[in-house]
Amino acid sequence: MAAAAVVVPAEWIKNWEKSGRGEFLHLCRILSENKSHDSSTYRDFQQALYELSYHVIKGNLKHEQASNVLNDISEFREDMPSILADVFCILERARRAKVIKSTFVLRMRNQLWE
């Protein structure tokens, strides 16, 4: 999922209160119309949720803003809890991989300087 094209433009996050939130809701409404899990629109829907969550992690979007919009889009699909669980698992795996890589690099650096 992380290698997919950006679905949520950074402008939407910057202008969240003015127009970004509405744009994100509109995108999610369109992407959630196709209920098939095998479609590219389903993957784009997951990607949009991933990017929204990633912006929260990076501090570009407040937790409250994200949780409010997630509450609004939860009515678009009945399988939202499952989709969010998938997205959060992917975020956690990416975080763990980054921690493991950082630890490995630090250990290798320490061994080289000993």
- Over residues 19-56, the pLDDT tens digits come to 999 999 999 999 988 777 777 888 899 999 999 999 99
Write the burial class of residue 15 (CB in 10 Å: 0-12 exposed, 13-18 middle, 19+ buried): middle
> Using an 8 Å Cβ cutoff, are 83 and 35 in contact?
no
Given a cut of 60, is residue 2 above it in pLDDT?
no
Global confidence as pTM: 0.78
Collapsing DSSP states into helix, strand and coil, what is residue 79? coil
Given a cut of 70, is residue 111 above it in pLDDT?
yes
Confidence at residue 114, expressed as pLDDT on a 0 to 100 scale: 66
